Amino acid sequence: MPRRLYGREAVIVSGKGCVKLIGYKILWEGGTGELIEKKSRFIATTKPASSEEEAAGFVESLRKKYWDASHNCYAYVIGERGQLQKCSDDGEPSQTAGRPMLDVLLGEGVRDICVVVTRYFGGTLLGTGGLVRAYSGAVQEGLKHSKIVEKRPGSQVRIVTDYTGIGKIQYIQAKRKLTALDTQYTDHVELTLMVPQEETASLTAEITEATSGRAGIDVGDPVYFGVVDGEVVLF
């Protein structure tokens, strides 16, 4: 597809930008949370994991760290659709630890995450229901102390305009709360915006109308992006 990036007939949207990606949440930074139930201590530790090997290595490292614990139960969910899932009760009664932990991760919709809950037995049996509540609650505590990022589909949209049109485009940018990745001023203005996938078509139409077709627009390949501590990051 030919492109003209500047001029009266310059609005061209790359066909590559039509590819659909799926948004989902990921664990960006792991953390540790703790819960005490009838003197039993439950320590939940989370860590990002993008493969089964990474998850297995993390589980093994926690088993070594907490070698004297009663149990080191785990669960992980990996892949944009959560294709890879696994959990373990590590000696607790069946379905009282690993599965409840996994259910919390699935309920929160977090991907690429592994969580290990370490239990130090406090001398009092909790029963099936008590164990389920304790392990589920421990995972929730762990997530509270972790950093979760929404991984959103979008495109880097490059806009070329004259100095007459830049004010209108920046107004649209501010109204839509879009992040500018780069701005260059020469004999014209070149602005690169990070645009959510669902806004790309409407943004193109709005800029075209606002500038009477004088702005050149090029939509890049689909990418994933997120916001971490107020800053846009690309995946």
* Residues pairing with 223 in the sheet: 154
Structural contact between residues 90 and 73, judged by C-beta atoms closer than 8 angstroms:
yes
142-176 residue pLDDT tens: 999 999 999 999 999 999 999 999 999 999 999 99
Structural contact between residues 46 and 131, judged by C-beta atoms closer than 8 angstroms:
no
Return the closest-CA partner of residue 84 out of 117, 129, 49, 108. Answer: 49
The arithmetic mean of pLDDT across residues 77-98, rounded, is 96
Domain positions in the chain: 15-23+151-234, 31-145
The class that CATH gives domain 31-145 is alpha beta
The DSSP result for 25-40, as a single string, is EEEEE--EEEEEETTE
27-45 residue pLDDT tens: 999 999 999 999 999 999 9
The arithmetic mean of pLDDT across residues 93-100, rounded, is 97
Query: Tokens 């070698």 — which residue?
Result: 67
How far apart are the C-alpha atoms of 49 and 29, rounded to whole Å? Answer: 10
Instruction: Check residue 21 and give its pLDDT.
Output: 78
Whether the per-residue pLDDT at 179 is higher than 50: the answer is: yes
Name the residue with higher pLDDT: 21 or 59: 59
Instruction: Check residue 22 and give its pLDDT.
Output: 85
186-195 residue pLDDT tens: 999 999 999 9
Query: Tokens 């061209």 — which residue?
Result: 12
How far apart are the C-alpha atoms of 108 and 150, rounded to whole Å? Answer: 12
Q: How far apart are the first and last CA of the chain?
A: 27
Same fold, 15-23+151-234 and 31-145: no
Structural contact between residues 42 and 133, judged by C-beta atoms closer than 8 angstroms:
no
pLDDT band at 19 (very low <50, low <70, confident <90, very high): low
What CATH code is assigned to 15-23+151-234?
3.30.70.240
Whether the per-residue pLDDT at 8 is higher than 50: the answer is: no
